[in-house]
Amino acid sequence: MTSEPEPYRAAFFFDCGSGYCLWSADDRTRDRFDSPIEHDELPLSSAVIAKLTELCDRVDRSLNWDYPPDPGPWRQEECDRFNADVADVIARLRAELGAAWEIEDEFVPLAEDPDLDRYLADPKGFRRQAANQGWKWRIPGRLRRSRNGRLGRSGTNTDKE
């Protein structure tokens, strides 16, 4: 009786500017594919590979590259479209890769920054107000697994000095 090999494991999250959204989640996968994982090294349709590339390009446009803690340019409608496209591509990834792969969804859905209107009115003079200091900015990325195995958001709130 032969047993099935352990599935490869990849984490799905974005690292702005990297061009990747799939990262090896264990040593076996890292030894075979390195990390990040090249989209075209996987047995995926050209449509899914194109969608992964498009999402990596789009997430880069969600960030304020002048000063990342400041609000990014996306309104909630764009965040909702992006979040839906991410959910769709993760489902397609899992379907196309099948039982040979486990895809861990570590994507943190994007949301409009509550200070976006104030930022757009005066980008140079913008400072977060005390009322919104509890709102944690983060570079679109991933949930981080702590040493106790629990997931938590990455990033911290960093105000201009």
- For residue range 12-60, list pLDDT tens digits in order: 999 999 999 999 999 999 999 989 999 999 999 999 999 999 999 999 9
Considering only CA atoms, which of 54, 27, 51, 22 is closest in space to residue 38? 22
pLDDT at 131: 55
pLDDT at 152: 44
What confidence category does residue 2 fall into, taking pLDDT thresholds of 50, 70 and 90? low
Residue 5 has pLDDT above 80, yes or no: yes
Considering only CA atoms, which of 136, 140, 113, 155 is closest in space to residue 12? 140
- Residue 102's DSSP bridge partners are 9
Residue 161 has pLDDT above 50, yes or no: no
Question: What pTM does this model have?
Answer: 0.78
Instruction: List, in order, residues 6 or more apart from 10 with CB less than 8 Å away.
Output: 22, 23, 24, 25, 29, 33, 37, 101, 102, 103, 104
